[in-house]
Amino acid sequence: MKTLSQTGMLRWLVWRDLTLAWRRRSDVSGTLFFFVIVITLFPLSVSPDTRLLRSIAPGVVWVAALLASLFALGRLFAEDYADGTLEQMLLTSQPIYLIVLGKVLAQWLMCAIPLVLMAPLLGVQFGLSRYSPFVLAASLMLGTPIVLLVGSIGAALTLGLRASSTLTSLLVMPLYIPTLVFGAGAVQAVIEGDSPDPNFRLLAATLICAIVFAPWAAAAALRVSLE
């Protein structure tokens, strides 16, 4: 039997997880609906003052995206662990960090990309104008992979435990603070007439660090959880 190359293995993992997600579209749509409902209801609970809504928009959208992404973490390894598929994957000759990276990439494509596309439209109800909605989408494009990469470590550590989703959230939530600050700060800078470039650079640097280190840490956590 021909052994898959690392690139071929990565493509197969992404395609497999996307196919399975398409068959369970309710899971993916639930994440998107949560994101939309939170952002839509929030302006109704505060003052209709445009300045106030515009000032809180970056934080509201980013917190909603962060919480919605946490829902996706519960499905990252749990289903494959339950049916034994994950253990079989780890027995292959492919490095474990590649399996983690493939599953995170698939999760980002099916859960985070819809959030990124919806964010500019939802931001309009907060009075965001000019370039602010596009900066919001760009910050989420850079920030959501960080959320999933860092979250994969917590998901791997709590694999097979009771209330694993709650434990994962408690473990990784403090690590999301820099990403939340930089992401919301980029949009806030545009609203105030400043440049978002410093925040984007910090987000990009955080993303590079997460891509380099998070899959290795999650792979080590998977080994511990499956022993």
90, 128, 140, 195, 217 from 181: Cα distances, Å: 36, 19, 12, 15, 24
196 assigned to some structural domain: yes
Query: Per the structure, how many domains does the chain have?
Result: 1
Determine whether 210 is exposed, middle or buried from the number of CB atoms within 10 Å of its CB (0-12, 13-18, 19+). Answer: buried
Q: Find the Cα–Cα–Cα–Cα dihedral 211, 213, 217, 218, rounded to 10°.
A: 0
**For all residues of the chain together, what is the average pLDDT?**
87
pTM of the model: 0.90
pLDDT in tens, 114-156: 999 998 888 888 888 778 889 999 999 999 999 999 999 998 8
Residue 48: give the domain boundaries.
Answer: 6-226
1 assigned to some structural domain: no
Q: Residues 137, 120: contact at Cβ < 8 Å? A: yes
Q: What 3-state DSSP class applies to 1? A: coil
In Å, how far from its chain's centre is CA 206?
14
pLDDT in tens, 1-46: 345 677 888 888 889 888 887 877 777 788 888 899 988 888 888 7
Tell which residue, 205, 108, 200, has the closest CA to residue 151: 108
Residues 132-162 as b/e (b if ≥16 CB within 10 A, e otherwise) read bbebbbbbbbbbbbbbbbbbbbbbbbbbeee
